[in-house]
């Protein structure tokens, strides 16, 4: 059985009534850390959680597990590692950052 890992995911959000995004925003972007046995499971869990929160995930780009990112030479600060550890400890999806997108951002 595969061991749980934490995956870094970039989520693009579309608009949906009641999503809480500001007026004029065309969507949003979130950086999340999600635990899973593989990246597909982490993506499925992320989509489920975001839909429960009345958000509209339209595209998710995976950036790999902590080990994969380290192997690629990514510099991962302590704050980011702490959020990743929290996602692993709590078997959770942790939103590291969230930003609304406006037409001029596209």
Cβ 29 vs Cβ 82: under 8 Å: no
Domain boundaries, the chain: 5-105
Q: How far is CA 82 from the centre of its chain?
A: 15
What percentage of residues in the chain have a pLDDT greater than 70?
Answer: 97
Q: What is the pLDDT of residues 34-82, one digit of tens each?
A: 999 999 999 999 999 999 999 999 999 999 999 999 999 999 999 999 9
Q: What is the mean pLDDT of residues 91-105?
A: 92
Q: Give the C-alpha separation, 87 to 92, whole Å.
A: 5
Provide the whole-model pTM.
0.92
- Return the number of other C-beta atoms located less than 10 Å from residue 35's C-beta: 23
């Amino acid at each position: 059985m595969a061991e749980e890992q934490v995956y870094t995911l970039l989520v693009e959000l579309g608009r949906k009534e009641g999503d809480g995004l500001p007026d004029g925003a065309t969507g949003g972007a979130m950086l999340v850390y999600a635990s899973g046995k593989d990246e597909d499971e982490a993506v499925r869990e992320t989509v489920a959680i975001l839909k429960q929160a009345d958000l509209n995930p339209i595209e998710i780009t995976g950036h790999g597990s902590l080990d994969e990112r380290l192997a690629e030479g990514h510099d991962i600060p302590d704050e980011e590692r702490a959020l990743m550890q929290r996602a692993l400890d709590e078997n959770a999806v942790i939103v590291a950052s969230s930003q609304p997108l406006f037409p001029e951002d596209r």
